């Protein structure tokens, strides 16, 4: 594609990605008062950031309503850094609070941000680790899209018999494999910190492992065949199409039917791609997520385009030799 040969576009893409990743990791997490209370009562986390609107200040602290409209009184204690004196009514504050189990009230720890542009949702049990959603999930989605594009190019190759399509299919599958590996690595690191081990053989982990095997077999098949280029490309294209039949089963069906540590397993509804067509995800997170998907998709197309050109050069060299 011509688009990926203009340096200006690529620098814009790079800057957009950097800004997106920075925003995603810099945005404060804002939960609700009930988040703070449940997390403290379960002993999971003492201090929880809460996003709330200031209603009134008094001598001991201030009254807030959180994002669900639930009221809460936050007290200034000797643990607190700062006070509420300088804030006006209707200011939206992200405050980290500690739940006082005895008094059933909230103690201020510190004021994190005033009138934030956006806040990252508080995901109970994940907390700050939840930010990895914006790397891990878009990578897996782009990997699926890449394999889909690769399969479409393989079908085109079988119809049109033009090697250009074969090169596109190879490049798309290779870039898809790269994104699958990235999703596996980000997921594995994530699993270490939220589930305890790098690898649990969760249904989704199993299925991404098999996905890696499928496309490893695809590239192995190409390198093992000692046939003419035409035959090799034809066999690889057919295998690519057959293999893709099982990809939706692996990525969408099996993890949704079996019990899973991932959301959406074992009959519960998946957060974004599900049958009811509704999303059960915070708006901000969802918007950030789709922005990430689009940006990663551009990175994928860039890598794919570059690899296609390399393959084209290789083919030309082989022709000349």
Partner 1 sequence: MEFLEHHALYVVGIISAVIWLGLFLFMFGTERRIRKLESSK
Partner 2 sequence: MTNGWAGVLRKDLRIEFRTRYGVSAVVMFLLITVAVILYSTPGEQLQPSIMSALIWIALFFGAMTGLARSFVSEEERGTALLLRLYASGESVLIGKLIYNLGLMLMLAVSAVVFFLFFFARDFNVRDWGVFWLQLMLGAVGIAAVSTILSALISRASQKGALLPILALPVLMPLVIATTDATRIALEVPNAWAGARGDILILISFDVAMILVSYVLFDVIWKD
* Contacting residue, 22, 68, 195, 290, with partner 1 by CB under 8 A: 22
Task: List, in sequence order, every residue forming a beta bridge with 97; answer none if it has no partner.
Answer: 48, 108
| Residue selected from 120, 190, 300, 302 as contacting partner 1 according to rule CB under 8 A | 302
In the set 24, 74, 122, 214, which binds partner 2 (CB under 8 A)? Answer: 214
Q: Find the binder of partner 2 among 73, 113, 234, 262 (CB under 8 A).
A: 234
Candidates 9, 10, 63, 188; binder of partner 1 (CB under 8 A) is 10
Residue 130 DSSP one-character state? G
- Contact with partner 1 (CB under 8 A) among 3, 12, 18, 101: 18
Asked if 47 contacts 111 with a C-beta cutoff of 8 angstroms, the reply is no
Give the whole-angstrom CA distance, residue 57 versus residue 72.
12
52: closest CA among 68, 36, 75? Answer: 68
Question: Which residues 6+ apart lie within 8 Å of 277 measured at CB?
Answer: none
Q: Which of 51, 125, 59 is nearest to 91 (CA)?
A: 51
List the interface residues with partner 2, window 149-188 (CB under 8 A).
158
* Contact set for partner 1, span 109-168 (CB under 8 A): 128
14 binds, among partner 1, partner 2, none (CB under 5 to 8 A by kind): partner 1
Distance linking the first and last C-alpha atoms of the chain: 27
Q: Which stretch binds partner 2 (CB under 8 A): 76-84, 94-102, 124-132, 221-229?
A: 221-229
Beta partners for residue 13, in sequence order? none
Q: Which residues share a beta bridge with 73?
A: 63
Rounded distance, CA 232 to CA 224, Å?
Answer: 9
- # residues near partner 2 by CB under 8 A: 32
Residue 26's binding partner among partner 1, partner 2, none (Cβ under 5 to 8 angstroms by kind) is partner 1
DSSP SS3 for 221: helix
Of the candidates 47, 124, 309, 315, which one interacts with partner 1 according to CB under 8 A? 309
H or E stretch covering 92:
strand 92-100
Per CB under 8 A, residues contacting partner 1 are 5, 7, 10, 14, 17-18, 21-22, 25-26, 128, 302-303, 306, 309-310, 313, 316
Per CB under 8 A, residues contacting partner 2 are 158, 203, 206-207, 210-211, 213-214, 217, 220-221, 224-227, 231, 234-235, 237-239, 241-243, 245-246, 249-250, 253-254, 257-258
């Amino acid at each position: 594609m011509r688009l990926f040969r203009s340096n200006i576009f690529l620098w814009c893409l790079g800057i957009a990605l950097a800004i997106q990743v920075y925003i995603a990791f810099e945005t404060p997490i804002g939960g609700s008062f009930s988040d703070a209370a449940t997390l403290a009562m379960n002993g999971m986390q003492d201090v929880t950031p809460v996003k709330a609107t200031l209603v009134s200040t008094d001598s001991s602290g201030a009254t807030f309503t959180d994002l669900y409209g639930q009221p809460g009184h936050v007290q200034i204690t000797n643990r607190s850094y700062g006070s509420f004196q300088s804030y006006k009514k209707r200011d939206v504050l992200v405050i980290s609070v500690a739940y006082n189990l005895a008094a059933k009230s909230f103690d201020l720890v510190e004021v994190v941000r005033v009138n934030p542009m956006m806040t990252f949702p508080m995901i109970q049990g994940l907390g700050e680790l939840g930010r990895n959603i914006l790397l891990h999930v878009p990578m897996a989605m782009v990997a699926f899209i890449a394999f889909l594009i690769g399969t479409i190019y393989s079908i085109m190759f079988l119809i049109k018999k033009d090697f250009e399509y074969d090169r596109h299919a190879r490049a798309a599958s290779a870039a898809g494999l790269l994104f699958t590996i990235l999703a596996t690595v980000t997921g594995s690191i994530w699993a270490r910190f939220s589930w305890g081990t790098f690898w649990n053989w969760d249904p989704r982990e199993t299925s991404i492992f098999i996905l890696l095997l499928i496309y490893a077999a695809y590239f192995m098949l190409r390198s093992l065949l000692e046939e003419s280029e035409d035959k090799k490309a034809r066999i690889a294209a057919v295998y690519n199409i057959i293999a893709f039949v099982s990809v939706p089963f692996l990525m969408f069906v099996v993890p949704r039917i079996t019990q899973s540590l991932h959301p959406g397993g074992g009959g519960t509804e998946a957060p974004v791609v599900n049958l009811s067509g509704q999303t059960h995800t915070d708006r901000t997170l969802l918007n950030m997520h789709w922005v990430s998907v689009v940006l990663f998709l551009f990175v994928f197309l860039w890598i794919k385009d570059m690899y296609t050109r390399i393959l084209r050069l290789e083919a030309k060299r082989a022709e000349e030799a």
